[in-house]
Structures are given as structure tokens and as C-alpha cells.
């Protein structure tokens, strides 16, 4: 765990899906760096409250609250932003992290499993980015807290470029996210808004438990990771803090892969 810092002091950050896995680690890391944090959750109020409590306890200068919202529902997302603005005055950073899998072979995939993944993983990202940008533009620059008008970080996946049999809905949602993120960047960078994605590789969280919870499955997984360890949520937390801070001011429209080299085609290590 990183030491508390104050790179995000005076700023407010919404982290969607902040009650578990990567979102929880990101929310805690952002809080340690001094921001106020909104820990969004879908259904696990108790975990979200615990994360918010931990942030308020550990932070040198920030505070935290938990807010329920289904990111695929427009009214919920609008309400989450207005409650955040009422509580903390504005939003400076939005980390759209929520995501789900509904896996099936394509021929067995129901329309509802296709649709739900697109709704949460892509439409949810659009709704959060749209509300964040509306608020950034309304509020205007605050040079005392950041050199950017606002920052958006989309949680993508290595599957934005690695095709994934049996997970076509998920891979399509993350592939779509690249163009969403880059188009938003092109449109709003002139307003000093920064929009980037983080593409995690295999990170040990509830979403992929069966890929690491037995020695056999872990061994199989490690063949895909040149660095030879599975990622942990804090690997993503520290990347998110850097991307949210002015240290990365000139980084815009980029995907930061945090994957131990997974996207470097390890299958070709021994001459393919
Ligand atoms: P996770 O299941 O712990 O987290 C997903 C979070 O999204 C949960 O907190 C869940 O409650 C929330 N969520 C689900 N539906 C929601 C909705 N409708 N509205 C609001 N929140 C909702 O798994 P994770 O691994 O921490 O996943 C976080 C993100 O990281 C996802 O976008 C996932 O695609 C991405 N990711 C994870 C990995 C990995 O290896 N774990 C790899 C690449 C990308």
C-alpha cells in the first residue's frame, strides 16, 4: 500500500463499482491521496459504507460517502452526480469502473446477457462520462486544485484488443469503449478535459475467481503473463491515482495497460 500523499487534495472523485475488487482499491488509493470520494455501489451497501468509512478514517484531508446507483440507468447516474455536487460542491474526477461478465458461447448467448453487458459496460461508461463533462463545463477551471478542467478514467480491459471466445459481449463492450474514450478526448481535450482508460490484465478479484482459485487454474493463467504473477487491485489503484493527478497532465486519449505484459503475445516466446 502506498503512503498517504496529497496529489488530489481539494478534488472530488466518483468511483463506480467502488465496493469491491478493483473499484475498492481505486477508491482507497484516491482517498489516500487526499480527494473526497464517492463510493458508488450497485447492491452491496454494507461494503460500500465500509470503504467510505475507511477512506474518511485514513485520509489526511478528504471525506467519503457511499451512493447507490445502477450505472446503466440514466436517472440513477444523474441523481448520483447531483448528490455528489450537493455534498462536495463539484466533481473533478470520474472513474467509471463498474463492469460485469455474462459468459456464454455465442450460439448460447441470450439477447438479455448480450444487452446487460453492453448496458453496464458501455452505456454506463457513456452516462458517467456525459454527466462528468457537463459538471466540468458548468463549474469551470479551478487552477488552485488542478491544471485540467476534469479527468475521466474508463476501466477497460486487455480484451479491448485481445479477442475472447465465449465472452463476445464483454470483449465487444471493451472494444467499443476504446472509441468512446478516444472520441470524447478528441471532442473535449480543447476544454482541458483529460479522458483516458486503464486496461487491466488478470487482476485477482471476484469477477474472475475461477481463473485463480485453484493451483491448476493459476498455473494456466500465469502462462499468459510474462511477468509471472497475477495482478492485485492495488496495481490498478496506483495507476488510477497517477492518471487522475497533474503528474500525467499531458496524457490524454490513451489506454494505460496494467497487465504484466499480457498484451505482448507471450504465446510467441518460444518461437511461436
Ligand atoms: P468486481 O466484480 O469486483 O467489480 C465490478 C463492480 O461493478 C462491482 O462492485 C459491482 O457491484 C459493480 N457493478 C456491477 N453492475 C453494476 C451496475 N449496474 N451499476 C453500478 N455498479 C455495478 O470485479 P473487478 O475485477 O473489480 O472489475 C472492475 C472493472 O475492472 C470492470 O469494469 C472489469 O471489466 C474490469 N477488469 C477487471 C479485470 C480483472 O482481471 N479483474 C481485468 C480487466 C478489466
Write out the three cell numbers for 48. Answer: 460500500
Q: How confident is the model at residue 170 (pLDDT cuts 50, 70, 90)?
A: very high
Is 228 part of any domain?
yes
Q: What pLDDT is stored for residue 207 in this prediction?
A: 85
For residue 127, the domain's CATH number is 3.40.50.720
Q: What pLDDT is stored for residue 2 in this prediction?
A: 59
Residue of 14, 16, 19, 23 to mutate, ligand 1, most atoms within 8 A of C-beta: 23
Separation between Cα atoms, residue 148 and residue 93, nearest integer Å: 10
Task: Quote the Cα angle for 242-185-179, to 5°.
Answer: 105
Separation between Cα atoms, residue 270 and residue 250, nearest integer Å: 37
Q: What pLDDT is stored for residue 61 in this prediction?
A: 84
Residues 186-206, mean pLDDT to the nearest whole number: 97
Structural domain of 158: 12-260
Q: Would you name the residues annotated as active-site residues?
A: 170
Residue of 22, 103, 259 to mutate, ligand 1, most atoms within 8 A of C-beta: 22
Q: How many domains does the chain have?
A: 1
Ligand 1: residue whose CA is nearest its atom 8: 17
Is 271 part of any domain?
no
Looking from the CA of residue 233, the nearest atom of ligand 1 is 26
Is 272 part of any domain?
no
Is 193 part of any domain?
yes
How many whole angstroms from 267 Cα to the centroid of ligand 1? 27
Is 111 part of any domain?
yes
Tell me, letter by letter, the H, E, C secondary structure of 96-131.
ECCCCCCCCCHHHCCHHHHHHHHHHHHHHHHHHHHH
How many whole angstroms from 249 Cα to the centroid of ligand 1? 26
Is 145 part of any domain?
yes
DSSP letter (8 states) at residue 227: T
Q: What pLDDT is stored for residue 7 in this prediction?
A: 95
Q: Is the pLDDT of residue 60 over 80?
A: no
Residues with C-beta less than 6 Å from any ligand 1 atom: 16-17, 19-23, 41-42, 70-72, 97-100, 120, 155, 157, 200, 202-203, 205-208
pLDDT tens profile 19-33: 999 999 999 999 999
Mean pLDDT of the chain: 96
195 membership: H or E segment, kind and range? strand 193-200
Q: Is the pLDDT of residue 107 over 70?
A: yes
Residues 120-135, mean pLDDT to the nearest whole number: 99
Q: How confident is the model at residue 109 (pLDDT cuts 50, 70, 90)?
A: very high
Amino acid at each position: 500500500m502506498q503512503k498517504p500523499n496529497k496529489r488530489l487534495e481539494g478534488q472530488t472523485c466518483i468511483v463506480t463499482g467502488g465496493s469491491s475488487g478493483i473499484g475498492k482499491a481505486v477508491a482507497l488509493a484516491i482517498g489516500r491521496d487526499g480527494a473526497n470520494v464517492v463510493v458508488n455501489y450497485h447492491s452491496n451497501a454494507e461494503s460500500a459504507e465500509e470503504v467510505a468509512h475507511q477512506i474518511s478514517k485514513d485520509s489526511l484531508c478528504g471525506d467519503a460517502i457511499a451512493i447507490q446507483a445502477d450505472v446503466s440507468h440514466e436517472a440513477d447516474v444523474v441523481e448520483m452526480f447531483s448528490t455528489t455536487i450537493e455534498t462536495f460542491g463539484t466533481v473533478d474526477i470520474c472513474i467509471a469502473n463498474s463492469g460485469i461478465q455474462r459468459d456464454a458461447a455465442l450460439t448460447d448467448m441470450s439477447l438479455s446477457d448480450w444487452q446487460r453487458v453492453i448496458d453496464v459496460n458501455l452505456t454506463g461508461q457513456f452516462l458517467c462520462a456525459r454527466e462528468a463533462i457537463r459538471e466540468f463545463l458548468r463549474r469551470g477551471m479551478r487552477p488552485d486544485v488542478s491544471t485540467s478542467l476534469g479527468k475521466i478514467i474508463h476501466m477497460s480491459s486487455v480484451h479491448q484488443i485481445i479477442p475472447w471466445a465465449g465472452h463476445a459481449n464483454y470483449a465487444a463492450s471493451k472494444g467499443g469503449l476504446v472509441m468512446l474514450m478516444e472520441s470524447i478526448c478528441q471532442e473535449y481535450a480543447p476544454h482541458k478535459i483529460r479522458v483516458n482508460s486503464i486496461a487491466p490484465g488478470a487482476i485477482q478479484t471476484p469477477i474472475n475467481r475461477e481463473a485463480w482459485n485453484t493451483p491448476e487454474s493459476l498455473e494456466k493463467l500465469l502462462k499468459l503473463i510474462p511477468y509471472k504473477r497475477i495482478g492485485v487491485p492495488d496495481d490498478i489503484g496506483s495507476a488510477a491515482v497517477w492518471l487522475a493527478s497533474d503528474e500525467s497532465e499531458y496524457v490524454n486519449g490513451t489506454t494505460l495497460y496494467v497487465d504484466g505484459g499480457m498484451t505482448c503475445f507471450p504465446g510467441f516466446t518460444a518461437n511461436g
